[in-house]
Structure 1
Amino acid sequence: MSESPQKYIYYSIAASVITMILKTWAWYLTASVGLLSDALETLVNLSAALFALATLTKALKPADDNHAYGHGKAEYFSSGAEGMLILIAAVGIVYASVERFMSPEVPQNLGAGLGIALLSSVVNFATAKIMLKGAAVHDSITLEADAKHLLTDVWTSIGLVAGLGVMLFTPPSWAFIDPAIAMIMGGNIVFTGFSLIKKSFSGLMDNALPHEELLVIDTAIRTCGGEDILYHGLRTRKAGSHRFIDFHLLLPGDSTITDSHHLCTEIENCIKSDLKNCHVTIHVEPKEDVASYDCEETGGLCGSMVRLKASFGDKD
């Protein structure tokens, strides 16, 4: 892969700087607490992008003696920290909104301010779409989290513009609309922050790969070894963009080491052809030996469980 995923973070940093300038200008013109909340969220965007750049740089480092499985988990710290920054911004927004409720004030130059806010949304939307494509190419949770954060900014800004736009046609007594919209934006931002933290926590806890990917693994094993092949102890996890897969494969006891090795290599290649950045470890056992059926001790999934889960979905 020739391009580096880091270049997409630079796009995010540039977009955050541009939109922060635009939204701060809009707030300066209008004195709207709603537009202030929008500007504060953009400051969080910039902080999150800078943190994402640092963690992504760390995650891209190759495995070494002290990190035999690589540095991919660093990406989860980025999405978790971004979620925390979003929550901090939400607290500031709610605080400013409460103050404005106590002392209502009609925003000034609202038309110009809203136009500037919409322009900043266009910048964020274009950047987010580019980053989502990069996230798909590089399978990066950091890029995905940052892109979704920018999209959240877009939708909240559009909602803000729509809400404040009503004030262009209402009397001064409707000044409460401004802080009310800011409070709603704060609630939406809190939801986004908790979602990112939850996803980060799941990655750090070594959650199994999603069921559609487990089915890909099962299909690869059965395609190479036959529909009746037995396996168990399927354990999977993901660290950044890297997938780690290991399982026990039961073969006839009279199979030669060479034949077993060739089959394992074929299965590994088949899995890697459908799933990116895979590290596959296969432990071969004789299927005639009772000791090979140590499913309870090994843990993980067997073939029938994978098919069952794929059929009924995640019930956790």
Structure 2
Amino acid sequence: MSQPHAVGEERTRLLRLATRASVAVALVLIALKATVWLSTGSVSLLAGLIDSLMDAAASIINLFAVGYALKPADKEHRFGHGKAEALAGLAQSAFITGSAVLVLLQGINRLLHPEPLETAWAGIAVMVFSIVATLGLLVIQKHVITRTNSTAVGADSLHYRSDLLLNLSIIAALLLAQLGIQRADALFGLGIALFIGYGAVRIGLDAIQILMDHELPDEVRAEALRIARAVPDVIDVHDLRTRESGQHWFMQLHLELPATLTLADAHARGEQVRLAIMERFPQADVLVHKDPA
């Protein structure tokens, strides 16, 4: 079984890697997109710039929120500080929604008053670089999410995945503008704004579920029940309750044990169940209650 301390240290290292990489990528893309947007005036490129600004803001929020969430439990927060991650996800949702509205308004204005784009090729080059940088970040985030199941990094990864489609659409808009189809830039900008808004809603709903102590996925609950029932002398398991708080899962369950067991034996069976579930889910804090059948 993995040592809890070692598991915690690895999780901390991975989370800090993901959040710092996210901030670094966002800041580099902001600088490049701002420079090229000033020379082109493209609405779709403005959408990409605003999205990167929101990415940076959200990533910085994540950086501090994840750092706070990793603090160990104390006497004032006995269940830890993990919900700071969900609050960060909610803040991201608000930021992204605001950016979507801004791009939507700019797109409508440019659709009504089209303007020719200048130096579109520079914009295309920047978007190609953005795609490469985003792909690199997503590889890091996927590895971290697989190992930590972080809500905040998951939310961050969601809008960086949407950035890939956004960047491709910006390239398409700039190419069409070069061919003389000026309204394509505005139309793509509107489509991107709607797509960003959809992503914001998803992030917000996921964060709300965690803040409302939504149960863990059915497959996790089923696996925990299976593990508990496989322990000798366990007749049945009931009243399984679960919730998530940042990097930690909390599980409570009742074991039905033979009434003839001594208190010491019943306690030993409860410990077997607790340790078996924690071996399968190292991030879980398991509380076991013993009932005589």
State the TM-score bracket (shorter-chain normalisation): over 0.9
Aligned to 2:48: 38
Shift of 1:219: 1.2
Aligned to 2:264: 258
Q: 1:207 aligns with which of 194, 210, 214?
A: 214
Aligned to 2:4: none
Alignment of 1:244 with 2:250, yes or no, is yes
Alignment of 1:180 with 2:187, yes or no, is yes
Aligned to 2:34: 24
Using the alignment, how far apart are the partners of 1:26 and 1:134 within structure 2?
Answer: 32
Q: Which runs of 5+ in 2 are unaligned?
A: 1-6
| Deviation beyond 4 Å, 4+ runs, structure 1 | none
Q: Deviations over 1:248-297 (max 9, x none)?
A: 1111222111111111111111111111311111111111xxxxxxxxxx
| Further displaced range: 143-152 or 159-168 | 159-168
Alignment of 1:277 with 2:279, yes or no, is no
Determine if contact 1:128/1:148 at 8 Å carries over to the other structure. no
Aligned to 2:113: 103
Determine if contact 2:225/2:237 at 8 Å carries over to the other structure. no
Q: 2:236 aligns with which of 230, 237, 244?
A: 230
Using the alignment, how far apart are the partners of 2:230 and 2:166 within structure 1?
Answer: 48
Aligned to 1:77: 87
Q: 2:102 aligns with which of 71, 92, 105?
A: 92
SS in 1 for 2:74: coil
Aligned to 2:201: 194
Shift of 1:139: 2.0
Counterpart of 1:111 in structure 2: which amino acid? Answer: W
Using the alignment, how far apart are the partners of 1:12 and 1:234 within structure 2?
Answer: 37
Using the alignment, how far apart are the partners of 2:177 and 2:113 within structure 1?
Answer: 17
Determine if contact 2:229/2:237 at 8 Å carries over to the other structure. no
Aligned to 2:137: 127
Determine if contact 2:96/2:200 at 8 Å carries over to the other structure. yes
Counterpart of 1:56 in structure 2: which amino acid? Answer: V
Determine if contact 2:123/2:174 at 8 Å carries over to the other structure. no
Q: Percent identity?
A: 27
Using the alignment, how far apart are the partners of 2:111 and 2:173 within structure 1?
Answer: 16
Q: Deviations over 1:136-184 (max 9, x none)?
A: 2122111111122212112211122123312222x3xx31111111000
How many matched pairs? 283
SS in 1 for 2:231: helix
Using the alignment, how far apart are the partners of 2:202 and 2:160 within structure 1?
Answer: 14
Aligned to 1:159: 169
Q: 1:59 aligns with which of 53, 58, 69?
A: 69
Using the alignment, how far apart are the partners of 1:120 and 1:234 within structure 2?
Answer: 46
Aligned to 2:224: 217
Determine if contact 1:62/1:70 at 8 Å carries over to the other structure. yes
Using the alignment, how far apart are the partners of 1:137 and 1:208 within structure 2?
Answer: 20
* CA RMSD in angstroms, aligned pairs only: 1.3
Using the alignment, how far apart are the partners of 1:28 and 1:163 within structure 2?
Answer: 17
Q: Name the TM-score, length of structure 2 as normaliser.
A: 0.93
Determine if contact 1:224/1:267 at 8 Å carries over to the other structure. yes
Using the alignment, how far apart are the partners of 1:132 and 1:263 within structure 2?
Answer: 37
Using the alignment, how far apart are the partners of 1:112 and 1:162 within structure 2?
Answer: 14
Shift of 1:17: 0.6
Q: Deviations over 1:159-215 (max 9, x none)?
A: 22123312222x3xx311111110000000000000000000000111111011111
Determine if contact 2:270/2:288 at 8 Å carries over to the other structure. yes
Counterpart of 2:101 in structure 1: which amino acid? Answer: V
Larger Rg: 1
Aligned to 1:49: 59
Determine if contact 2:251/2:284 at 8 Å carries over to the other structure. yes
| Further displaced range: 213-222 or 198-207 | 213-222
Using the alignment, how far apart are the partners of 1:276 and 1:136 within structure 2?
Answer: 13
